[in-house]
Amino acid sequence: MKVLIIEDETLAANSLIRLLKGVQADIEIESEILTSVSNATKWLASHPHPDLIFSDIQLSDGLSFSIFENIICGSPIIFTTAYDEYAIRAFKLNSIDYLLKPIDERDLRLALQKYSKLSTVSWSEQFKSFIEYRQQPEVKKYKTRFLAQQGQALIPVNVEQVSYFQKDQLIYLHTFDGNKLIDEHETLDELESLINPALFFRANRQFLIQKNAVNKIKTTHKGLLVELKGAIQQIEVSREKATAFKNWML
């Protein structure tokens, strides 16, 4: 199976290549890693298309979606992203897959299994539906109020009161005044699709943090260490997500 990688971060591309070679022996990676919308569009216009494409969403010169809006692509695509603000709900609605960085081996295996069962016809129809969805004017209302549980009581919490969400078996909502409540949602992925990405950032698989909660950011050999106001726990942001996090903070 031939795989093309569209990714502008060398570290992320090399990590994905190692994972792919480790999970499936017959994978052949195209020798050229495409790093921009411009060179990916030119490459796909002049080369036979691979069996599968892994594409980062945010590239150096724009969103990779525009590549596939301008090129008729017969290859299934698995999008990769360090953060969630780009139409993840649309992926789910149209069975377009995505992997959250840093990519987990188990998630990668599941994505490959899914695409091994996907026919070219069904892929083309799903992707056409996805593109049409993206081209519609987007009017989205983000969730501004949560109903959280404390003991036997349900407590309404405005989004401005939320410091961060934490996954620890259940999903917990932490407020600025130190309350730890049980959130009504089952996964952080679900929460990501409902809240404003300008206000919340998916720091890692366990934490969604509010911008106004950030007190201090430290650089480490692993990436970033984020200190939140009034919170004892410090939250790690990987090197792969560090640039996105800094841009989000501006």
65 and 155 share a domain?
A: no
Q: What is the pLDDT of residue 237?
A: 95
16 and 128 share a domain?
A: yes
Instruction: Kindly state whether residue 140 falls inside one of the protein's structural domains.
Output: no
CATH code for the domain of 13: 3.40.50.2300
Count structural domains, the chain.
Answer: 2
The span from the CA of 126 to the CA of 132, in Å, is 10
| Tens digit of each residue's pLDDT (9 = 90 or more) over 168-210 | 989 999 999 999 999 999 899 999 989 999 999 999 999 999 9
| Tens digit of each residue's pLDDT (9 = 90 or more) over 17-34 | 999 999 988 899 999 999
0.85 exceeded by pTM: no
| Tens digit of each residue's pLDDT (9 = 90 or more) over 138-156 | 567 899 999 999 988 999 9
Please determine, for residue 80, whether its predicted confidence score (pLDDT) is greater than 60: yes
Domain that holds residue 72: 2-135
